[in-house]
Structures are given as C-alpha cells and as structure tokens.
Chains A and B, each alone.
Chain A
Amino acid sequence: MNDLTSRVRTLVYESIDEINPGLDPDNRLTRQDAERLFGPGSRLGSLGLVNLLLAVEDRVESGFGLSIQLTDSPALFSSDGPLRSLGAFIDCVADMVHKAER
C-alpha cells in the first residue's frame, strides 16, 4: 500500500503540474498535504477542481490501466470528504486504485 500511495502521490503531483499553468499565479496549488482542494479556504475554483480530478483520472488510467471515477463520486465533495486536503485526497485515490486492482 505504501508503494501504491507513493505512486499515486507522484501521479497527483504531475496532475497539479498539468493544471497549474491554467490557474492564475495566486491560485496555483502547492504540493503540501494540507492544501485544501474544495470548500472554504481552497484556492481552486470549480473549473480548476474539475480539471484536477480529470487529470488524475487520466493519469490513473494511463499509469495503472484502471478506470476510477472521481468526478462521479458525490462522497468526495462532502465537507469532511477527501478533498479537505491534498494528503487526504492522495490517500483516497490510492484506496480507489487498490480496490479497483482487486
């Protein structure tokens, strides 16, 4: 699982690098685990969040050969859901990949 989380972390960071050029400099995401992705305190607008989730979906598909549906997961968007921080999001994606692999 640790190796998987590490791979997912790399892939999420790559997705951040991909979407950042489309964000104003003040709104660009950092790689800090505490970075909020959704809700109050997040620098991402709805469009930025959609772009991030789609970028991660794409990279999971090309990196693991697996299809995960982040944008279709309402649980993701609850106030205490995994989008509350980048670290929680990485764990959530790793968990989804782990389940999809089984």
Chain B
Amino acid sequence: MLRERAPLWLKLLALAGGLCLYVPILTLMVHAFTKGTVGGQGIGLTFEWFAQAWQRPDVWAAFLVSLKVACIATLIALALGTLSAAAVARRRRWERNRVSWLIIIPILLPGFIVGVALKSVFDLASIPLGYWAIVIAHATICVAIVYSNAALSFRKDAALQGEASMDLGANSFQTFNHVIMPTIAPALLSGVLLAFAVSFNEVLITYFIAGQETTLPLWLLNTFTQADQTHVASAVATIIFLVTLLPVATACHLLFQSKR
C-alpha cells in the first residue's frame, strides 16, 4: 500500500506539540545534572545534587513513605479492580458502562474536590489523617487504572477462551488457572505498574489528607519556597521521573505486545 506523506505544515505543528510536551522536562534534567549558567562561568556536568539528595534524611523518609503507600495502595487496587472487572465481564454492555463510570469518577473530578471530600470524611469519622488516609485515597483512584486495563482483557479474550476451556471439559479451577489467569496476567501487570506510577506521583488529593506525613511529591512542594534548594529539588524531581519511567515503559510494552 502506498503510504501517504504528511504535509510539511502538519509535521511542523505536530513537532511544536511534541516540543510543548518535552522541553520543560528536558530542561529539568539538564538543570539536575549541571551547575553554573549559560551566561556566567559556563556550564558543567555534575552529580553533586544527586549526592546531596542522597545524604538528606528527609528525602529518604519521604521516598520511603511514597514507596510504601504506592505498594499498599496498588495491591488494594489490584484486588478491587480485578474483582470488579471479573464481575462485569459477562454482564450487558450498559451495565458495564455504568460500572466503568462509577469507578472512574475519582480520577475524573478535580483534585481539590476529591481531597476536600475525603478530608471531611476522615474528620467526621475521626480517622486520623496521615499514612492510612493516604493509602485509602490512593487505592480508590488506582482502582480505575487497574480496572480499565483488566476489563478489556477479560471481555475480549478471557471470556471466550474460558468458555472454550469449559466446553472441552475443564472445571472452573482448571479454567481459571490455565486459561483465564495467563490471558489476563499481562493486562493486570500493566495495570499494576501504571497504578504504582500514579500513586507515587499523586499530590493534589494527598495534600489535604497527609497530616504530618510527607510523601516525596509533598516534599518537593514544600521545597519550592526555598530558593537555595532548587538544584536538589530538580535532582529529586528527576529521581521521581525515573522511578515513574520504568514501570510506565514496561506497562506500555506489555500493552503493545497484547495488541499484536
């Protein structure tokens, strides 16, 4: 088939869009790895800011809080998201749509609305703000991500193949172990990885319910006001970016493989 070529103006506009996406992040990386300015004494490559961040106990504490919260929230989301996807897999289309939209509400609404709502729930129910409050909030938003990945795979592949397996005489457990699980595993894994990335980066809801706890994004937020800290903050932001990059890239890879 003859491939069409894009007109030049479209290419340029697309390129401009791409630059809008990437220039700020690249600036950040350059800032994290260099010292000096272009105009002044010249620019030099350095790992000094990463070394400084490494030695900071407050950065480590925040990093560990973020890591633990993300892991627990992701596990809860994995359970709830997979269960809901499995439950609706064989229901009618309008029922599935209704469930999808109920699950997706928390990520569709503005951050402050969800944050303030959860804060008043925790206040009235006298659940202390902090660690577990963050875990509950993150789990709730992460369900949407696990669900949307799992639902598609359940519906398209697992349902039909499961039926075939039962027709061929396998019992429910055999079908689950040998047919359904292997079929949905890549989708679940990519859901888990993306959910981890979202939880690790979440700040707009966390801000309201963190109490005394500091996650890594919240640490970054508190550091904005300190002008002498911008380089270390850039180093930390780069670390967050890289910690997110790996799971997201793996998840994308899995998604593309299953598409083929």
Q: Do A and B come from one complex?
A: no
Interfacial residues, chain B to chain A (CB-CB below 8 A): none
